[in-house]
Amino acid sequence: MDAQLKGSLPQAGTLSVDRNVERAVLWYWIGSFAIGMPLLFDWIFAWNVAATVSRPALVLLLLATFAATQGLYVIVAHHGDRPIHWPATIIFALGNGFFETLAFASVYRIGEIIGHAVVALVAPNAASVAGFLLGMFFFTIYGGLIHGLFWLRKLPPHLNDSPRSKAIRRIRPIFEVALVFGWSLVFWLNRDFWTVTAIHIMVDVGLMLQVRPPLFISSKF
């Protein structure tokens, strides 16, 4: 989550929590659940991980894009001397890994349905690929907007300003799009919600260890 913020959260080295930020995250999760469950009921209650694992090239793509994006994130992000809070790490990684994947998959599926339906009217043989491409496009746009307009305002400042960091930050979107491409392929080919969720959880563990935002450090939301 490539976010930069100056403002609402406490300065580095503290564990003070902005409860409004926590509530905003919880409402985001609730909204993702409310929208995602009806759209993805069949995906969620199916176990298609084996179909993904049976495609070595797809697994390699998923691992490579995960490693690349996380490796670059480690280089450009910092935690401002905030301590690691393990319960918060678990809560956020599992919660956001599941609920935001619902949002991502919902947006992808809406795009896929529209793309397939429209192209099927004129070129039925191309409808499936068209659905994939529009689904991935919707996913990419949503991912950029949610990180820019929501997470940008919820995470503390955590991006290095060194010349090397700035150069890497300019190329990171390419790797993020590659990550979205791999996740979209998993949705398209296998209707596999849970593999993407597992990878997303690992991404969010990396966020919590690298950035350590002061979220969910107590049970009082």
The predicted model scores a pTM of 0.89
For residue range 123-143, what is the model confidence (pLDDT) as tens digits?
999 999 999 999 999 999 999
Give me the residues of the chain with pLDDT under 50, please: 1-14, 219, 221
Q: How far apart are CA 184 and CA 137, in angstroms?
A: 10
pLDDT, tens only, 60-84? 999 999 999 999 988 888 787 789 9
pLDDT score for 187: 98
In sequence order, the β-bridge partners of residue 159 are 77
Distant-in-sequence, close-in-space partners of 23: CB < 8 Å, separation ≥ 6: 221
